[in-house]
Amino acid sequence: MKFAKLFTSESVGPGHPDKICDQVSDAILDACLKQDPYSSVAIECFTTRNLFIVGGEVSTSARVNYEKIARKTLKDIGYTDEKYGIDADKCQVMIVVKEQSKDIAQGVKNISSSKEIGAGDQGIMFGYACNETAAYMPLPIFLAHELVKEANLQRKNGKFKNAGPDMKSQVTIDYTDDTPKVDTILMSIQHDQEANFIDFKEYIKENIIKKVILKYELNMDYKVFINPTGRFVIGGPEGDTGLTGRKIIVDTYGGYARHGGGAFSGKDCTKVDRSAAYMARYIAKNIVASNIAQKCEIQISYAIGIAKPISLSIDTFGTSNFSDEKILLMIEELFELTPYGIIKTLGLRKPIFAKTATFGHFGRLDLDLPWEKLDKVESIKKYLNIL
């Protein structure tokens, strides 16, 4: 008996409680960076029904109104009515922010003249890329993002009637044969009390799911589940609490590759949880784009206050004709892996982070992100003599 080889990834929309918190955290980070590129920021948010809390550590010369940013973000998402669990204008907003710990600050020389910025924390970071999609991302997470992105877009422009801000998708891909195919699509989308569920479900099938699958010319014989309980009126912060950094697998590779455990949103570039994960993705993507491997996973580890990484490893899963040792030598020659080198290479002092807080930090065909650039391909090929 032949068993199917299935793999599933999920995504969530901007209105998911955890994603609300990610967006506010990164909006505050960007606001600080716009005024002071050397801001030290570690912001985390929490939300529940009609309550939003902003907490963390910030050291900056910037003057930022945290409450105003939180309310604006909620409004932009669509939380303008208590029926969705939180009202941007009426909810309680609490601010609990203090300066960065001096113990951490002394190990992180966060000044413009220093090339010896120490890592902002210890940790392990992973980056991954594969040739399954034009975005160099695994197909399950790529499609999961595309589905919620399309549903959210249609909700915002008024085409998708009776839809609430909170939504999720889940995509199962069948890898049994050489060509991956879509096996199952699940979408759970919040709806108004008065919505006709049959019409609502049919709209999602025909105008969201089918549109995305046809766009990428994939098979149409997939199974579909929409709001399986039959009702999703209570959602957002009323249905569940939200917290910054609780959707790290959605933010990365959908579980297809490993994750070091650190979240991204609300952290400035000296925090290697974020910056080194971006660099690892940048390296892996350029390696796959150079056609020296079909898939590639990079791991980098750091110690707090130490500039150079403790370790660097690679796995090409048997898809490369080059040895791991040869590729690692190439990485050390062509890529700067100290926090200063990463920040300089990727331009991470700029306010570019708020737009990454939804639909994933990687494989974003809709954004011009520095860690997604393929500007090292020719250098890699030259080093390995494959021009």
Q: What is the mean pLDDT of the chain?
A: 94
* Residue at token pair 């990834």: 9
Mean pLDDT of the region 148-158? 97
133 closest CA partner among 168, 182, 170: 182
Structural domain includes residue 1: no
Identify whether residues 127 and 191 lie together within a single domain: no
Going by pLDDT thresholds of 50, 70 and 90, the confidence category of residue 11 is very high
Structural domain includes residue 63: no
Q: How confident is the model at residue 386, as a pLDDT?
A: 83
In total, how many domains does the chain have? 2
Residue 205 confidence (pLDDT) above 80: yes
Encode pLDDT of 38-72 as tens digits.
999 999 999 999 999 999 999 999 999 999 999 99
**Which pTM was predicted?**
0.94
Q: How confident is the model at residue 109, as a pLDDT?
A: 55
Q: How confident is the model at residue 100, as a pLDDT?
A: 62
Encode pLDDT of 293-332 as tens digits.
999 999 999 998 888 999 999 999 999 999 999 999 999 9
Q: How confident is the model at residue 266, as a pLDDT?
A: 98
Residue 364 confidence (pLDDT) above 70: yes
Identify whether residues 128 and 152 lie together within a single domain: no
Structural domain includes residue 41: no
Identify whether residues 342 and 276 lie together within a single domain: yes
Residue 24 confidence (pLDDT) above 60: yes
% the chain with pLDDT above 90: 87
Identify whether residues 156 and 212 lie together within a single domain: yes
Helix (H) or strand (E) holding 189: strand 181-191
- Phi, psi angle pair for 85, to nearest 5°: 105, -20
CATH number of the domain at 177, please. Answer: 3.30.300.10
Residue 258 confidence (pLDDT) above 80: yes
Could you tell me which residue, 232 or 278, shows the higher pLDDT? 278
Q: How confident is the model at residue 99, as a pLDDT?
A: 80
What is the extent of the structural domain holding 179?
Answer: 6-11+139-234
Structural domain includes residue 207: yes
Structural domain includes residue 43: no
User: Which of 209, 234, 259 is where one domain is finished?
Assistant: 234
Mean pLDDT of the region 233-253? 95
CA separation (Å) from 184 to 78, 187, 211, 285, 291?
29, 10, 15, 27, 31
Structural domain includes residue 155: yes
- Phi, psi angle pair for 9, to nearest 5°: -135, 155
- Bridging pattern class, strands 242-243 and 40-48: antiparallel
Residue 381 confidence (pLDDT) above 60: yes
Residue 15 confidence (pLDDT) above 60: yes
Task: Average the pLDDT over each of 104-108, 121-125, 193-197, 230-234 and give the range with the smallest value.
Answer: 104-108
For residue 100, the one-letter residue type is Q
User: Which of 170, 204, 234 is where one domain is finished?
Assistant: 234
What CA–CA distance (Å, rounded) separates 145 from 216?
A: 13
% the chain with pLDDT above 70: 95
Encode pLDDT of 84-129 as tens digits.
889 999 999 999 999 865 554 445 554 444 566 877 778 999 999 9
